[in-house]
Each structure stands twice: as C-alpha cells, then as structure tokens.
Structure 1
Amino acid sequence: MPKFVFAYHGGNTDMTPEAGQAMMTQWRNWVAGLGAAMVDPGHAVGESITISPSGVAQDGGANPISGVSVVEAASLEAATEMARVCPHITLVEGSIEIAPVLDMDM
C-alpha cells in the first residue's frame, strides 16, 4: 500500500499547559484511530533552518515545518481524508502538507 508523508506546519506555541495536554489527548486519539495505517507517528520539531544554494536562512522559511508523520493509504484522496480529521488543523495557522513517498532505489 502506498505511503504518504504528512508535514505539519504552523500551530499554537503559546498554549496553556492544560490546553497542550488536551491537544495531546486529541492527537493520541487520532493516531490510535488510524490503527495500522499510521506507519510512523513521527515527531514534533523545533525551530528549523532552510539551506539553499544562496545560503542558510535561520527562520525556517515562509511556512516552517512543525512535525512529520508517515501513513499508509490506498490513495492521495484516502490520505487526505485521514488528515482532514487530524487535530493539528484546529491549531492557529495549522496545516498539513501531504506527499506520496516515492519508491526509489537508494
């Protein structure tokens, strides 16, 4: 079955501890609800940098990544439906970028 990367962008950084705990509970419930389709729940990430031929940008660019996951889904449309109910999209400026994992010899 095809795999897809979910790249999370945005999100609240100024939550109260209680709101943060409530979000983590929603996140864990979402992951559990995906069952075996959640190949790797991934990681939240800290401040990023962007490296390009013109140099290194310390701010992570226009829409820095805030985490990643890998899911299995029958199609991009099926992966999209999984992402539509992810609690991350309820956060301030929360969005999820979805891309298929390409099967390449490395």
Structure 2
Amino acid sequence: MPQYMITYIGGDKPSTVEEGQQHYALYKDWLSSLGRAVLNPATPFKATSTVNPDGSVSNGSVSAMSGYTLIEADSMETAVNAVKSCPFLAINGTMEVSELIR
C-alpha cells in the first residue's frame, strides 16, 4: 500500500499551556480516527540547522516546516481527504501530502 508523508507547515503557537493541551487532545483524536493507517503518528521538529550550498551552517530553518506524520492510504485522494479533518488546519497551519517512493 502506498505511504504518504504529511508535512506540517506554520501554524499558530498556543498562547497558553491549556490551549496547547486542548489542541493536542484534538490532534490525538484525529490520529486515532485514522486507525491502523498511521505508521508514525507525529514527529515534531525541535531544533534545526541549515547547511547551505557553500557548506556554511546556520541555526534555524529556511522553511516553516514544523513536523511530519507518515500514513498508508489507498491513494493520494484518500490521504488528502484524511488530512482535511486535521485540527492543525484550525490553527492556521498548512499541510502537504507527499507520496513516498518505495
């Protein structure tokens, strides 16, 4: 079955710990709704270093990617439809769905 990487981009940070906990609960419910399709539920990024073409290294990211999830789905359409109900979208996050070459 094809595998898809869901990339999280941007999104508003919670303004309080409680807000963060509420969002995380919604996110866990969403992942649970995907059932066995979830291969890697959530891998948020912590620290990022960017290696530039000249070999120099800078702290931080040149993109706004904040993490990823891996799922299995019958098709890109099925994967995209699963993403449409993710609560990350409600906090102004964007999500990309990419089929993995295996």
TM-score of the alignment, normalized to the shorter chain, above 0.5:
yes
Instruction: Report matched runs for 1:43-82 at 5 Å.
Output: 43-54=43-54, 55-61=56-62, 63-82=63-82
Per the TM alignment, residue 43 of structure 1 is displaced from its structure 2 partner at its CA by: 1.3
> What secondary structure, in the 3-state scheme, does the structure 2 residue paired with 1:13 have?
coil
Q: Deviations over 1:37-88 (max 9, x none)?
A: 1111031112423323134343311x32111110011111111001111111
Contact 1:38/1:70 (<8 A) preserved: yes
Normalised by the length of structure 2, the TM-score is 0.88
What residue number does 1:23 align with?
A: 23
Q: TM-score of the superposition, structure 1-length normalised? A: 0.85
User: Matched residues in 2 for 1:101 and 1:72: separation?
Assistant: 10
Write the distance in 1 (CA, Å) between the matches of 2:91 and 2:51: 27
Counterparts in 2 of 1:47 and 1:91: CA distance versus 1, 3 Å: farther
- Structure 2 CA distance for aligned equivalents of residues 89 and 97 of structure 1: 11
* Matched residue count: 101
Structure 2: any 5+ residue segments left out of the alignment? none
Percent sequence identity over aligned pairs: 28
CA RMSD of aligned residues (A): 1.5
> Could you tell me which residue of structure 2 aligns to residue 100 of structure 1?
99
1:11 aligns with 2:11: yes
- Matched letter for residue 59 of structure 1: G
Structure 1 gap ranges (5+): none
Contact 1:3/1:71, CA 8 A, preserved across alignment: yes
